[in-house]
Amino acid sequence: MRHLLFMAVLSALLGIVPQPEKVEEMKGNFRIAGATFNCEMSLDRESQNLISEFADRLAMISDRTVSFAPSPTLRSNAASGLLKGVCFLLDKDKISGEYSLEVTPKYVLVFASDFYGFTYALQTIRQLLPPAIYGTSPAPGEKWVLPCCKITDKPRFAYRGLLLDCSRHFFKVEEIYRILEIMNVYKLNRFHWHLSDDQGWRIEIKKYPMLTVAGAYRSGTQIGRERGSSDGIGYGGFYTREEIRSVVAYARKLGITIIPEIDLPGHMQAALAAYPELGCSGGPYRVRTGWGVSDQVLCPGKEETFAFIEGVMDEICDLFPSEYIHIGGDECPKTEWEKCPDCQARIAALGLTSHNGVSKEQRLQNYVTERVQKYLASKGRRIIGWDEILEGELAEGATVMSWRGTAGGIKAAAAGFDVIMSPNIYCYFDHSQSTELSKEPLGPTQNPKRAIPLEKIYSFEPLLNMEAGATSHVLGVQANLWTEYIAEPSHLEYMLLPRLLALSEVQWCNKEVRDYDRFRAEVAGHQSAILNIMGYTFRPVD
Ligand code: ACM
Ligand code: ZN
């Protein structure tokens, strides 16, 4: 007991977020400035580049020469205890993302099985160094040493995501890079990019140019929480194909997969403004200026709607190498489908009926989901959908993103479907970080109970109330940054930070390792210094 307590105190001193699985601190230091970096010859090119870039950065910031070279004798040196410098070796027994790190006065030894493991090992090393390592100016006066320690570490969940809504407000590529960079620091690995919604279509599609000519711009934006209001100021923007490709490539270097979302068949009013023939009534439609859910949705009664979806998905698959494509599926009102002769003819032709509390129009949405799922499967891709896709019949191979609490996720996992937990009561970062709403930026609700302070997101246990046999279906956890009330990058960062750090411990750490007091102290200290030097806007810890 005493020993355990001692270890806990020591690990707290290292100040790493997310807290590694096992940390043991020893006496002494390793001088890293001026060190040689070596790796096994057999390390893949991407891992070698990663190490080389880290060595370059350390050289620049510490203002000392740091060399890097693959070494043919590294493994035999390791076996005979002749290591020197910072050494990176392969250990094929480790799972993806797992690493070990040993720091002694003579050498630093890193083992991992893949690029992700080396990425996380280097992030941990970075957190053990002075915060200046996160900056851009030389800081030769800092103490460029690593404390002697032994760390073994691996992620609890394989999917560690963050959603950014770029439809309600548009964020330039430079800001996307900053979000990816901070995700990288805290070992997140999935960026869910919400690229289309009622209030703006944000991705260039060659086959459907009007999506960005007309669908990317609205005539104004709702003022505050006042429904029906508009500031009358034209607003919009979109990402070109070149920009998308550079974001995807940049994310890849940081070990982050981008999962694009094209939300369908609801949340499509901006696309309808561009191509009104895809709606039930034929329009005209305009890009929505206010928040809330539009009744105007895609018409699945018409074949051309599916041709449109497939044409868009062809280009999405071309731009995004991700195995998963998010197809939305949330909040699709059925009022238009109930009135639409084409939709009703489709329902009749398919023999869909209302039964077991599921309407025939909900079953028509199942048909849409299944058709898109099959189409994407034919291209080697898998779908993720919001938990509404559970209503009725769930398409084979679909992964459910549980946002209306965790019940949908629990049900889907029990039925053998993969699940990502993103319950709105814990994971919606557009909600206030304090129950004192008047002291915080305007958000989506006036109910202080809906606030998500740092401690609340930290307390989220993704596997609570889940049967033991179902837990392996929980791929991971995601927070969602919806942007109805967030127009500026500094506000965006303020909502994200430091809650992203708490999220990272929910995603990465085993329950036993999580400790809010330790975490809070680290955020208030070393982690705030990191965020400051990287120039992020963040909410100070209470
Ligand atoms: C959602 O918040 N409509 C997924
Ligand atoms: Zn219709």
CA–centroid distance, residue 289 to ligand 1 (Å): 18
H/E element, 30: strand 22-31
Output phi, psi for 147, to 5 deg.
Answer: -70, 140
pLDDT for position 413: 97
Question: Active-site residue 493, yes or no?
Answer: no
Q: Report the atom number in ligand 1 closest to the C-alpha of 401.
A: 4
pLDDT at 78: 87
Q: Quote the ligand 1 centre to 482 CA distance (angstroms).
A: 9
Nearest bound ligand to CA 368? 2
Nearest to 77 by CA among 60, 62, 89, 65: 89
Ligand 1 surroundings by CB, under 6 angstroms: 330-331, 386, 403
The answer to whether 39 and 47 have CB atoms below 8 angstroms apart is yes
Residue 68 reports pLDDT greater than 60: yes
Q: Are 52 and 66 in contact (CB under 8 A)?
A: no
267 belongs to the catalytic site: yes
Cα separation, 462 vs 456, in Å, equals 13
Pocket residue to mutate for ligand 1, from 268, 331, 389, 429, most atoms within 8 A of Cβ: 331
CA 342 to centroid of ligand 2, rounded, Å: 5
In the predicted model, what is the mean pLDDT of residues 227-231? 97
User: Is 331 annotated as catalytic?
Assistant: yes
pLDDT digits (tens, 9 = 90+) for 117-146: 999 999 999 999 999 999 999 999 999 999
CB 134 within 8 A of CB 530: yes
Ligand 1 atom nearest to CA at 331: 3
Which pLDDT score, from 0 to 100, does residue 34 have? 94
For the chain, what percent of residues have pLDDT higher than 70? 98
* Interval 155-164: pLDDT, tens: 999 999 999 9
Residues 6+ apart with CB under 8 A from 525: 15
| Catalytic one of 142, 175, 330, 331 | 331
> What pLDDT sits at residue 14?
85
- Mean pLDDT calculated for residue range 56-73: 95
Say how far apart CA 11 and CA 205 lie, in whole Å. 50
Name the residue with the closest Cα to ligand 1, atom 3. Answer: 330
**Which one of the listed residues 25, 98, 197, 522 is annotated catalytic?**
197
Q: Which of 60, 56, 64, 52 is nearest to 138 (CA)?
A: 60
Residue 223 has pLDDT above 90, yes or no: yes
- Integer Cα distance of 187 and 181 in angstroms: 10
Q: Which of 209, 200, 328 is nearest to 270 (CA)?
A: 200
The whole-number pLDDT of residue 7 equals 46
pLDDT tens sequence across 175-212: 999 999 999 999 999 999 999 999 999 999 999 999 99
Encoding tokens for residue 325? Answer: 């494509």
For residue 144, the CA-to-ligand 1 centroid distance in Å is 45
The answer on pLDDT for 57 being more than 70 is yes
Which numbered atom of ligand 1 lies nearest the CA of 403? 4
pLDDT above 70 for 12: no
Which ligand ends up closest to the CA of 194? 1
Q: How many angstroms separate the alpha carbon of residue 373 from the centre of ligand 2?
A: 20
Task: Specify the pLDDT at position 11.
Answer: 46
Ligand nearest to the CA of 347: 2
pLDDT (tens digit, 9 = 90+) per residue, 362-411?
999 999 999 999 999 999 999 999 999 999 989 889 999 999 999 999 99
The token pair that represents 25 in the structure block: 């601190």
Instruction: Dig out the tokens for 358 from the structure.
Output: 């599921």
What one-character-per-residue DSSP string does 106-171 give?
Answer: SEEEEEESSHHHHHHHHHHHHHHS-GGGGSSS--TTS--EEEEEEEEE--S-SEEEEEEE-SSS--
Q: Which among 267, 326, 473, 526 is annotated as catalytic?
A: 267
User: What mean pLDDT, rounded, does the chain reach?
Assistant: 96
Specify the residue with its C-alpha closest to ligand 1, atom 2. Answer: 403
